[in-house]
Amino acid sequence: MNNPSLPADPAEANDPLGSLSEQETTSYHTAFGSDPKNRLAMNAVTRSDLSDIAMDRDAFRAVDHHFSDRVHPKGDATSQKASGRCWLFAGLNVMRLGLMKEKNIKNIELSQSYLLFWDKYEKANWHLECIIQTVNEPLEGRLVSWLLANAVPDGGQWDMFVNLIEKYGVVPQSAMPESHSSSATAKMNRLLLHKLREWTKSLRDAHDEGGSLADLRTLKDRMMAEVYRILAIHIGEPPSTFDWQYEDKDEAFHRYEGLTPHRFRDEHLPFNVSDTVCLVHAPTEDKPLNTLLTVSFLGNVVGGHTTRYANVSLDTMKKAAIASIQAGEAVWFGCDVGKRFHRDLGVMDTDLYDYNLVLGTDTALTKADRLNYGDSLMTHAMVFTGVDLRDGKPQKWMVENSWGDKVGSKGYFIMTDAWFDEYNYEIVVSKRFVDKAILDIFDQDPIVLAPWDPMGALA
């Protein structure tokens, strides 16, 4: 029986005008064959990658990895491997640059697996708290369904990164190296997701049987002990103290003993993540310019910072990013990396592909349309470490990625300024690089977005 609250199923609709006729298909076939260029394109694309066939030669020739302004020093490319930890890598890559400069170190990595452990731990607790808060919501409703689908993702947002740094500090990678599961998170994630769904049922059942809030939290305590055990077995236990030693560029030896993650952060990392702001460009009607945005049910640390964005113009974002780069601070950003992008070349360029020449069609949605119709959202976080200015205007941006040194220019990518306009959504800079009028936005009451809003996407 049909659900009267749903539209008619097309399979059951008694409307022959909506079906595809043989005559229509024949006309499409005839039209295709009437243009020899279609057969040429078919022969090429069926044997080769569309990205190579459609690449515009002039745009390819314009690829140039030189920039008028960039951050020094330049770290070696990092690799998140088979994981979705780009936001953690990008955040730690921003933080390490000041350390490298201050200590005269050629290169260092901060431990991404250390933050991964605590992020998964906190996200599990966040999820269970969300379930406790929504025990009266219908199981089949959109909110609970969304919570069950997004319990312990690898991705995150900047304020979630700040939560981890403030609560747990930082350690060098030597103090907590990568594990198999930190570099390839899929199996660990599946196990955690299975357990969290199982525990969701347990908490909701306990509530339905008359359990109090205290009863549910007692259950949650047992669940979190199991989460800790699972994470420790997969990733290793995070260190509470460690020794750190290194040789600087002059081959002088240095050693620090008995450091804690908080002491290492406070005494050796000059970049203060707590003194930053997150600026976004989301040009849809429900998100006016110069307003504060937040996303409900998006976070990791209960009691920590909520995700907050100031929705500003592209010019405001670029002005802040340029000021940061010129002052020697890299810029964390979130974008839709898969659009108009060549992975091996490491180029993000709206003119890189001439799809119309090959396919006879191209996409025509605006940035706002892409957000509204589910065609774009933040998918990846990286770091701006340079900008190429001509007459004060940005032409392209230097991007430090976390996909290793085999792509781009030893792991560094190029983003044209036109691509920034269309597919970059978010930057993070120190507060001193934005005007007071922008800082005042963060004193507003925020517009609260639904969890599934595209601006709630995790980089």
The DSSP secondary-structure symbol of 143 reads H
For residues 402 and 9, the model is more confident at 402
Alpha-carbon distances of 105 from 79, 271, 344, rounded to whole Å: 20, 16, 29
Mean pLDDT across 187-195: 98
Pick the closest to residue 119 from 74, 167, 76, 184 (CA basis). Answer: 167
Considering the chain, what is the average pLDDT of its residues? 96
Mean pLDDT across 83-95: 98
Asked whether the predicted pLDDT for residue 196 surpasses 50, the reply is yes
Name the band, by pLDDT with cuts 50, 70 and 90, for residue 448. very high
Residue 73, preceding peptide bond in cis (omega within 30° of 0):
yes
Decide if 2 is inside a domain.
Answer: no
Mean pLDDT across 307-326: 98
Positive or negative: CA dihedral 418, 419, 422, 425: negative
pLDDT in tens, 339-388: 999 999 999 999 999 999 999 999 999 999 999 999 999 999 999 999 99
The DSSP secondary-structure symbol of 137 reads S
End-to-end alpha carbon distance in the chain: 41
Alpha helices, H only, 269-416: 314-326, 355-359, 367-372
Decide if 30 is inside a domain.
Answer: no
Asked whether the predicted pLDDT for residue 152 surpasses 60, the reply is yes
Asked whether the predicted pLDDT for residue 102 surpasses 60, the reply is yes
How does 275-313 read in b/e, with b if 16+ C-beta sit within 10 Å? ebbbbbbbebeebeeebbbbbbbbbbbeebbebbbbbbe
CA distance 162 to 313: 24
Mean pLDDT across 26-37: 96
Give CA 47 to chain center in angstroms: 33
Q: Residue 187 belongs to what domain range?
A: 69-104+111-456
Q: Where are the beta strands (DSSP E) in 241-317?
A: 242-247, 253-259, 276-280, 291-295, 308-311
Decide if 127 is inside a domain.
Answer: yes
pLDDT in tens, 429-444: 999 999 999 999 999 9
Q: How many Cβ atoms from other residues are within 10 Å of residue 440's Cβ?
A: 12
Asked whether the predicted pLDDT for residue 295 surpasses 80, the reply is yes
pTM metric for this prediction? 0.96
Residue 4 is predicted with a pLDDT of 60
Q: Which residues are catalytic?
A: 86, 380, 401
Lowest-confidence range among 55-59, 306-310, 394-398, 412-416?
Answer: 55-59
Tell me the angle at which helices 112-133 and 186-208 cross, rounded to the nearest 10 degrees: 20
Asked whether the predicted pLDDT for residue 145 surpasses 70, the reply is yes
Mean pLDDT across 16-33: 92
Residue 88 is predicted with a pLDDT of 98
How many domains does the structure of the chain reveal? 1
The helix or strand, by DSSP H or E, that contains position 394, with its residue range, turns out to be strand 393-400
Residue 205 is predicted with a pLDDT of 98
Q: Classify burial at 329, counting beta carbons within 10 Å of its beta carbon; exposed 0-12, middle 13-18, buried 19 or more.
A: buried
Which tokens go with 34?
């009437």
Pick the closest to residue 426 from 369, 376, 374, 351 (CA basis). Answer: 376
Decide if 8 is inside a domain.
Answer: no
Domain of 318: which CATH number?
Answer: 3.90.70.10
Given a contact cutoff of 8 angstroms between Cβ atoms, the answer to whether 286 and 292 are in contact is no
Asked whether the predicted pLDDT for residue 108 surpasses 70, the reply is yes
Mean pLDDT across 156-166: 98
Decide if 309 is inside a domain.
Answer: yes
Phi, psi of 447 (to 5 degrees): -75, 125
Task: Please tell me the total number of residues recorded for the chain in this structure.
Answer: 459
CA distance 206 to 204: 5
Which tokens go with 31?
């039209």
Name the band, by pLDDT with cuts 50, 70 and 90, for residue 1. very low
Decide if 122 is inside a domain.
Answer: yes
Q: Where are the beta strands (DSSP E) in 52-176?
A: 69-70
Residue 13 is predicted with a pLDDT of 64
CA distance 256 to 244: 5
Asked whether the predicted pLDDT for residue 15 surpasses 80, the reply is no
Name the band, by pLDDT with cuts 50, 70 and 90, for residue 17. confident
Residue 9 is predicted with a pLDDT of 74
Helix, strand, coil proportions of the chain in percent (round to 5)?
45, 20, 40
* Residue where the block lists tokens 């306990």: 206
CA distance 453 to 374: 9
CA distance 232 to 230: 6
